[in-house]
Amino acid sequence: MNLFNLVWIELLHRKGRLVSGLTAIVLGISVIAAIRSVTVFSERAVAVNLDNLGANIMVLPQGATTDDYYTADIDAPTFPEDYVERIVSSNLQGVDNLSPKLTRRIKVGKDNFVLTGILPANEVASKPLWQTVGLMGAEVKASCAPSNSKNQSLGYKDERLQRKTIDSLGVSDCYIGFIAAQKLSVSEGSDLTIENKKFKVAKVLPETGTVDDGRIFAHLHTVQELLDIDHQLSAIEIMGCCNAISDGLLSKMRNILPDTRITTIGQIVSTQIQTNNMMNKLSFIFLIIILLVGGISIGNYMWANVNERRKEIGTYRMIGFSQSRIYTMLLMKAVILGLIGGVLGYVIGTLAGMILGPQLAGISVQPIFTLFFVCVLLSVIISVAGSLIPAHQASRIEPYSTMQEI
Amino acid sequence: MFLQLKNISKQYHHRNGTAINALSNVSVTIEQGQFATISGPSGSGKSTLLFTMGGLLRPSSGNIIFNGQPLHDANDITLSEFRKNHVGYVMQNYCLVPYLTAEENVMIPLSLLQKDKAKQKETARELLATVGLSDRIEHYPKELSSGQQQRVAIARALSNNPSLILADEPTGNLDPSLAAEILSLLKRLNEEKGITIVMVTHSPEAASYGNIQIQLKDGKMADAHLSLAKEVLV
């Protein structure tokens, strides 16, 4: 017989009360586990969708503006192509993809177009509409979002979530924007002469409603050679992890490329950061509510338990239990309740998330094993915190409380 | 001196602010191995005096000395140690823990003194055998008769090998034959093991078991004398 035996026997003796006490904490922890499981997988799905908004960081030549990049004037400044290698070799966390570009305004026939040189292996065909015309390639590894294979293993079927690079674009091939194709009256397979060089239209891109509709895309090195701007770039579009951007990715990049202008594509980044912040705040709000409700519930149970056991605690005190021993006994009970509640809460919450996640949120939810330890720890903390005052009250019970009226 | 109470007073304060004098300047000295009884009408302060002796209640004033150790101003830890090491309690309502078996109830005080569970079990069984309950060790209090419950309480009171047993109306809930059985058991423990016993009782027959009989009235000593001296006078 030791203190643990006494606590354990008492818990089992009052099974009904044990169930009601545990219910409060199990429900609380289940809700946390379910919400957290769904939130984590939702965040990943949201991260994928946010990444699909495209590049969110732009590296431009010093003194250039984004307008210069989009208008692609003949004398727009450039910077060396090896800047791409500098970023790659720096192993910066949160840089998911680099897309170097050289853009120049050119004349084809009577009309002006923007000719954009892209590196096929690096260019992200992130726009879902581009993929509808079959622009598929190697998978992009993203630090914000799970990999494509991970997405598939999680059951994502949405093609838009499969981010790909264009892995082949011949030196004499070009993709042509929707409006540009209409103006030039060309279709897939047509020949197109640009600056005296003959190109074959490999794809007519679907209408996107962006500047891409008026552009002609060709291999970067072909464009550099054609325009006689060897090894130079107009810009590097970067898909950066929005969390990394929040954590100072831009300033790290500025240290690597001091003679460039590095900016974010504000709308995209702010949407990404706001969405992530909102998700985090929602989780935090739920956590606070559960902590309060769980703590109060378990405190209420312990309070009732102490009142019910006044004579019994008085007996323990009479026999020689000190105040601190009674206090320890009650807190030990709270820890046991917390441990059981945490384990059950995690199992029930995770199962609820796995069942309800796909049905209600359209996402596949898998068990998060690290959440188990969080649930158990949180449950013990809630249980002990809620029991502090009842345990103190119990320790104050006088040893003569067990006796007849005096 | 084994247990000495000097000028003990105890006041209870009612919610309406009035003070009730439960004990007024009570002085008692009990030597080791004596069997003392405390008698008196209801509300005379018998239980208050007993609980004060046992370190369950702190006096409002006065001194309590147990084997040279002052208890009147002791802190909770010292009083808990005193109760744990030196005192066994036998109460009218038995004070058994309802969800523990007879054996487990006896093991509670043992758990405070030794960690070896097997030894605790062995001692508990021996004590239950001493009070004639070898066949009831796995029984819960509700499965035992009143007399059996009181015998479990006595076994528990003996488990810390006490030098003092405080009994508050131990026969109050028992019929006369069971009461006589319990009183005989207490007397036997007093005589054979030399355990000092202080017992509160309403019953003149029970009071007659004591070789010191303390009479209380309105919280004051009405009479205290050795029964031996009384017998000589008669």
Q: How confident is the model at residue A163 (pLDDT cuts 50, 70, 90)?
A: very low
Q: How confident is the model at residue A157 (pLDDT cuts 50, 70, 90)?
A: very low
**3 state SS of A194:** strand
**Residue A51: inside a domain, yes or no?**
no
**End residue of a domain, out of A212, A244, A264:** A264
Cβ separation of A400 and B168 shorter than 8 Å?
Answer: no
Cβ neighbours for A272, distance < 8 A, ≥ 6 positions apart:
A50, A53, A56, A242, A245
Please write the tens of the pLDDT for every residue from B159-208.
988 999 999 988 887 788 888 888 988 898 899 989 999 999 988 888 88
The answer to whether residues A224 and A293 belong to one domain is: no
The answer to whether residues A60 and A96 belong to one domain is: yes
A175 to chain B, any CB pair closer than 8 A? The answer is no
Of A1, A3, A311, the CB nearest to B120: A1
Cβ–Cβ < 8 Å for A357, A365: yes
Which tokens go with B190? 């007093």
pLDDT of residue A53: 63
Cβ separation of A403 and B91 shorter than 8 Å?
Answer: yes
Of A1, A13, A403, the CB nearest to B47: A403
Cβ separation of B117 and A317 shorter than 8 Å?
Answer: no
* pLDDT surpassing 80 at residue A246: no
Q: Return the percentage of chain B with pLDDT > 70, whole number.
A: 95
pLDDT of residue A165: 52
The answer to whether residues A137 and A18 belong to one domain is: no
Range of the domain at A127: 56-264
Interface test with A, best of B44, B89, B152 (most A CBs within 10 A): B89
pLDDT of residue B231: 41
Cβ separation of B117 and A2 shorter than 8 Å?
Answer: yes
φ and ψ at B85, to 5 degrees? -95, -30
Q: Return the percentage of chain B with pLDDT > 90, whole number.
A: 47
Of the listed ranges A120-124, A207-211, B73-77, the one predicted with least confidence = A120-124
Of B57, B77, B85, the CB nearest to A400: B57
The answer to whether residues A252 and A284 belong to one domain is: no
Please write the tens of the pLDDT for every residue from B9-40.
998 887 787 888 889 989 999 999 999 999 98
* pLDDT surpassing 60 at residue A310: yes
**Residue A49: inside a domain, yes or no?**
no
Q: How confident is the model at residue B80 (pLDDT cuts 50, 70, 90)?
A: very high
* pLDDT surpassing 50 at residue A145: no
* Measured CA angle at A233 (ends A231, A234), to 5 deg: 155
In terms of CA atoms, which chain A residue is nearest residue B77? A322
Cβ–Cβ < 8 Å for A321, B80: yes
Distance from CA of B102 to the nearest CA of A (A): 13
* pLDDT surpassing 70 at residue B44: yes
The answer to whether residues A167 and A248 belong to one domain is: yes
ipTM of the complex: 0.90
Cβ neighbours for A228, distance < 8 A, ≥ 6 positions apart:
none
Cβ separation of B83 and A399 shorter than 8 Å?
Answer: yes
**End residue of a domain, out of A231, A264, A297:** A264
The answer to whether residues A364 and A285 belong to one domain is: yes
| CA distances from residue A100 to A60, A90, A120, B229 in whole angstroms, order as listed | 10, 16, 10, 116
**Residue A270: inside a domain, yes or no?**
no
Report the C-alpha gap between B119 and B130 in whole angstroms.
16
A311 to chain B, any CB pair closer than 8 A? The answer is yes
Which amino acid makes up residue A135? Answer: L
* pLDDT surpassing 50 at residue A155: no
Please write the tens of the pLDDT for every residue from B114-154.
778 899 999 999 999 988 889 999 999 999 998 899 889 99
CB neighbourhood size of A134 (10 A): 8
The answer to whether residues A155 and A248 belong to one domain is: yes
**Residue A269: inside a domain, yes or no?**
no
A16 to chain B, any CB pair closer than 8 A? The answer is no
Report the C-alpha gap between B190 and B163 in whole angstroms.
10
Cβ separation of B109 and A320 shorter than 8 Å?
Answer: yes
Q: Return the percentage of chain A with pLDDT > 70, whole number.
A: 80
Task: Please give the model's pTM, rounded to 2 decimal places.
Answer: 0.69
Q: Which residues of B touch A (CB under 8 A)?
A: 22, 47-48, 51, 55-57, 76-77, 80-81, 83-85, 89, 91-93, 95-100, 104, 107-112, 115, 117, 120, 156, 160, 168-169
pLDDT of residue A269: 62
Question: Whole-number mean pLDDT of chain A?
Answer: 80
* pLDDT surpassing 50 at residue A215: yes
The answer to whether residues A172 and A297 belong to one domain is: no
Cβ–Cβ < 8 Å for B27, B221: yes
**Residue A119: inside a domain, yes or no?**
yes
Total structural domains in chain A?
A: 2
The answer to whether residues A291 and A369 belong to one domain is: yes
Distance from CA of A11 to the nearest CA of B (A): 10
**3 state SS of B170:** coil
Longest alpha-carbon distance in chain B: 53
Cβ separation of A10 and B160 shorter than 8 Å?
Answer: no
In terms of CA atoms, which chain A residue is nearest residue B165? A319
Domains of chain B and any CATH numbers: 3-233 (3.40.50.300)
The answer to whether residues A16 and A66 belong to one domain is: no
In terms of CA atoms, which chain A residue is nearest residue B43? A406
**End residue of a domain, out of A264, A283, A309:** A264
Written as one string, the DSSP assignment of B46-100 is: HHHHHHHHTTSS--SEEEEEETTEE-TT--HHHHHHHHHHHEEEEETT----TTS
Tell me what the mean pLDDT of segment A232-260 comes to. 82
The answer to whether residues A364 and A298 belong to one domain is: yes
Burial class (CB in 10 A: 0-12, 13-18, 19+), A232: middle
Report the C-alpha gap between B99 and B120 in whole angstroms.
18
The answer to whether residues A282 and A205 belong to one domain is: no
pLDDT of residue B108: 92
Interface test with B, best of A309, A313, A406 (most B CBs within 10 A): A406
* pLDDT surpassing 90 at residue A332: yes
Cβ separation of A9 and B110 shorter than 8 Å?
Answer: no
Tell me what the mean pLDDT of segment A69-83 comes to. 81
Of B47, B83, B92, the CB nearest to A318: B83
* pLDDT surpassing 50 at residue B234: no
